[in-house]
Amino acid sequence: MNIKSKTLFIFLFLFLTLTYGCSKNNDTAIPASRFTNLYENTFKPNCIRCHVPGQDPYDNLGVKLDFSTKEKAHSTLTTLKCAGQSSTFCADIPYVTARDLNQSYLVAILNRTYNNITNYAGKVNCVPYNIHIIDQHLTTEEQNSIIAWINEGAAI
């Protein structure tokens, strides 16, 4: 084998080894879930200061949402129902109902389209609490991400 052949052989060997290795690593990478992104980029910066044990909305107003960890945020959002002083007419509506925006109180308190509905989720006189629309100012992208997460099944 001459030098050109050896060089070509080494080049092809390295090329195939690196190409296979890189594609193999990309195939096994686990992308972050939509909820992880929501928690880190929307819920944690906007909700954690109030919705944890020891804060007024949690302890005094009866809204038991806990955003202290991603797991607790997901659990409370997907298992609890609307409660507390602001829920007189909206009590017992789930905060998140997978694949059903019209039965997800979280959407109603964060998105004007759903917030302006009287008798929300079929509950007579239920007009969702609107202070979060005023004080949180979630971007359209953040709101759309929450809506997409619910529409896709609200998985963690």
pLDDT digits (tens, 9 = 90+) for 96-155: 999 999 999 999 999 988 888 889 999 998 888 888 877 877 899 999 999 999 999 999
Residue 4 has pLDDT above 80, yes or no: no
Is 92 a domain residue?
Answer: yes
pLDDT of 7 reads: 53
Is 81 a domain residue?
Answer: yes
Same domain, 73 and 19: no
Domain that holds residue 2: 1-30
Same domain, 74 and 59: yes
pLDDT digits (tens, 9 = 90+) for 12-67: 444 444 444 444 444 444 456 899 999 999 999 999 988 999 888 887 777 889 99
Same domain, 123 and 89: yes
Is 156 a domain residue?
Answer: no
Total domains in the chain come to: 2
Same domain, 4 and 44: no
Burial of 65 (0-12, 13-18, 19+ CB in 10 A): buried
Same domain, 145 and 80: yes
Is 52 a domain residue?
Answer: yes
Ranges of H-type helices in the chain: 3-28, 34-38, 44-47, 56-59, 70-79, 105-110, 112-115, 131-136, 140-151
